[in-house]
Amino acid sequence: MMPPETAETLTDVMKSIPDDANDGEQADPLFDGLTEPQTTAVQHVDGALLVLAGPGSGKTTVVTRRVAHLVQQGIPPWQILALTFTNKAAGEMAERIRTLLDERGIGGRGLTVSTFHSFCARLLRRYAEQANLSQNYTIFDGGDQRDAVKRALEQCQMSTKNWQPASVLSHISNAKNKLLDAAAYTAEASDFYSRSIAKIFNAYENILRESDAMDFDDLLLRVASLLRHNEDVRSELQQRFQYLLIDEYQDTNHAQFIIAHTLASGHGNICVVGDPDQSIYGWRGADITNILDFEDHYPDASILSLGQNFRSTGHILAAADALIRNNRKRKLRTLHTELGDGEKPALLIARDEHHEADLITTELQKLNTNEDIAWKDMAVVYRMNALSRVLEQAFRDAAIPYVIARGTAFYDRKEIKDALGYLRLIVNPRDELSLRRVVNSPTRGIGKTSFEKLELYAINEQVSILEAMEHASDIEGLSARAANAMQRFVKMILELRGACVPNDAGMFTGNVQITLPELVGQVIRDSGLEAEFKKKKTEEDEQRVANLNELVSAATEFCERVRDDDDPRDSSADPGVSLLNELARYLETVALVSDSDAIDPEKGAVTLLTLHAAKGLEFEAVALAGLEEGLLPHMRSIGSDEELEEERRLCFVGITRAKRHLLLTRAMQRTMRGMRERQIESQFVRELPSESVNTLDLSGGHDDFGGDDWDQPWRRRGGGRSGSNSLGVAGSASTRAGHADVSGISIGAMVRHPTFGIGHVEAITRRPAGSSARVRFNSVGTKTLILEYAKLEVVE
């Protein structure tokens, strides 16, 4: 990497501001109302820049103005690449930059603002040949990945009992994020556990290759390796993207790090923005050292810290600050606000989750009536989606408008998945997962046994399953009925594909080139999906038909949007190829939608969302529900300091979403997956400064477990202290029966954990509130586990 000509250290920048500042620029509204470090960031043009942007520090303003400034300086927009993590963030950033440029009468055409994943997906289509890929590959979403792992396990003759798909998948994902492919992982695998994972990994990769499919991680991995191995592509992209901007840099993983730094390696013009205190994606491979070590990667980098918070009032910020100070692995930093003390956050203690939801709706109702705060300026945040159900009910009962941020919800519906399955199969006839999904849905007489015969034939004859279906009448032992159904099925798929791609004579099915929404409509009709749901008259089925129609509308919308902001560089000449391309691109955007994409500030409704989805957003009033041990921090993180600190950051993110009103809630007991459990106050609550939080115990002081006395001799009855740390602390759900098996675990014992596998017990701490054990696992190292939660099995 070449040090930029105008190398600036932090002190140089600081010194240079007064006299170096261009007078004309200072007059530009682009610099209006900015603090000194903000101005410096906006002015920065060449070289590396790290912006440490605390919550509410005006990060988006700085970033968008900086890009506008670059263009104003005469840098062609198409040389600028801005990468974000969600479509929502990308869309917002693009929109705000466009507005700034429009105001100045500058064109912004060709500017790339995209998520990492969709940027990579596009590159892989454009450079499919160089990447040794087909152009019409399928992107496997989370569900597809799970199915693929299950099939891989089947092929390896391993049981999903001992090898949980989710756990296997996270190992594979972690490997890919470190740029290890199946071969590299296998080479590194030495112990039994990782060798087993390697075996599944290889089978999984085979399935993906045969299906012409890629998972989310592949998108990054393949681009990283394309950049590494193909010099032409690398230099072409380095040439094109002269200025890089990466948002939420604390959440980048190693693959993303490599992609960004390869692109920047020629010119070194890389600006990264982030906040280590808001790093909440460690579990999916985000590497916080990327941001912490940025100075090491770019010794000449300028570093700016945006510490002033323009969002929250004093007590809210004080609570957030006090909380995050408990993280030990952290650069000390102080947050300050000039918005005054404001209102103190309130902590309400509820009896159970229903009571908690009622308290929240009541409080929000008050804010709406008394303070005139609009519904859309309020949010309820929580650790797990499972908590949204009860809240939703309470909002319905209270007649308060609400929206749940679940961008994927629509595409998770059965009928939509089916319709998309057909579409995927049209684009990519090798997509076996989709084929399996739709081949008998709606039912057309191709059941399990017939399909197995078909598969066998396909393997023996070395043809794809779809090809085998064409020859169904040749398959021995297949009923004529099934063979017939198969041939009809394959004919339908080929005809639909023929509507997208001209045949040898240059003709389309039906002789006319149709549009994407027309194709979607045809799929819904030809597949029999529509008829399937139209014949029954239940409300549910009517809804399904409506959803299918909605899918046609979504396709229409997609086409309109693409036409608007299409980069002329990407357009393909052949109109026949382009419907297929368009479909492929549509399926790509569908695969990459995220929950936060669904957040629509225009809707006059309270937003319900997870803490993860809340990052980057702000609301006048925020309720943070479920401040209980096991929930926040989540059960699975207790026992690992690193994960516990990430949970604390998550709580920090939640608190700092609030501008003026913050409501914290917890319940004394909560029903989860059908079991009522007594809940303990979150340790994070104790870390909040009492002078900044008003605690109010509304649980009624009693702690009854449904009138049932149980056998809890330690429990004090009646007259419990109000406020925090009351009865709940002693009354953990721990010593209940059912966890009795703990006795067999002793130091030195060999145990099996559902996720971590086999390990040896190194130490045991026995406590009435819950005993814990330190276990050294063969695969993942040492973990401290709470015995009552960890389903440890003694292995003889």
Partner DNA sequence: CTGGTCATTTTTTTT
Partner DNA sequence: AAATGACCAG
**What residues are labeled active site?**
59-60, 247-248, 278, 657
- How far is the C-alpha of 558 from the C-alpha of 579, rounded, in Å? 13
- How far is the C-alpha of 500 from the C-alpha of 491, rounded, in Å? 15
Q: What is the token pair recorded at 133?
A: 């890929």
Told to check if 150 binds DNA by CB under 7 A, we report yes
Binding residues with DNA: total (CB under 7 A) = 54
- How far is the C-alpha of 276 from the C-alpha of 291, rounded, in Å? 7
The answer to whether the beta carbons of residues 353 and 699 sit under 8 Å apart is: no
| Host H or E run for residue 698 | none
Told to check if 447 binds DNA by CB under 7 A, we report yes
Write the interaction track for DNA spanning residues 85-124; mark x where CB under 7 A is met and - where it is not: xx----------------------------xxxx------
Q: What is the token pair recorded at 69?
A: 């400034």
Nearer to DNA, 116 or 310 (CB): 116
Give least dist CB 509 to DNA, A. 26
Cα separations (Å) of 425 from 428, 466, 473, 503? 5, 10, 22, 18
Nearer to DNA, 105 or 674 (CB): 674
Give least dist CB 739 to DNA, A. 10
The answer to whether the beta carbons of residues 762 and 775 sit under 8 Å apart is: yes
3-state SS assignment for residue 775:
strand
Nearer to DNA, 499 or 638 (CB): 638
Give least dist CB 85 to DNA, A. 6
Write the interaction track for DNA spanning residues 127-146; mark x where CB under 7 A is met and - where it is not: --------------xx----
Which stretch in 314-322, 381-389, 502-510, 724-732 sits in contact with DNA by CB under 7 A? Answer: 381-389
The answer to whether the beta carbons of residues 613 and 595 sit under 8 Å apart is: yes
Told to check if 629 binds DNA by CB under 7 A, we report no
Give least dist CB 181 to DNA, A. 17
Told to check if 531 binds DNA by CB under 7 A, we report no
Told to check if 413 binds DNA by CB under 7 A, we report no
- How far is the C-alpha of 496 from the C-alpha of 526, rounded, in Å? 9
Q: Specify the residue for token string 């040949």.
A: 129
**φ, ψ at 669 (rounded to 5°):** -145, 155
Q: What is the token pair recorded at 464?
A: 């794809």
Nearer to DNA, 90 or 272 (CB): 90
Nearer to DNA, 428 or 596 (CB): 596
Nearer to DNA, 150 or 760 (CB): 150
Give least dist CB 276 to DNA, A. 17
Write the interaction track for DNA spanning residues 425-444; mark x where CB under 7 A is met and - where it is not: ---------------x--xx
Told to check if 312 binds DNA by CB under 7 A, we report no
Q: Specify the residue for token string 């007991």.
A: 669
CB contact burial 102-127 (16+ within 10 A = b; e otherwise): eeeeeebeebbbbbbbbbbbbbbbeb
> How are beta strands 112-115 and 138-140 bridged, if at all?
unpaired
Told to check if 415 binds DNA by CB under 7 A, we report no
Write the interaction track for DNA spanning residues 466-485; mark x where CB under 7 A is met and - where it is not: ----------------x---
Told to check if 214 binds DNA by CB under 7 A, we report no
| Host H or E run for residue 760 | strand 757-765
Q: Out of 250, 312, 596, 665, which residue is the one contacting DNA (CB under 7 A)?
A: 596
Q: Out of 383, 430, 437, 783, which residue is the one contacting DNA (CB under 7 A)?
A: 383
Within 8 A by CB and 6+ apart from 576, the residues are: 500, 501, 502, 506, 508, 513
The residues of the shown chain that bind DNA, judged by CB under 7 A, are 85-86, 115-118, 141-142, 150, 161, 164, 166, 216-217, 280, 283-284, 383-386, 389, 407-408, 440, 443-451, 482, 592-597, 610, 612-613, 634-637, 671-674, 754, 791
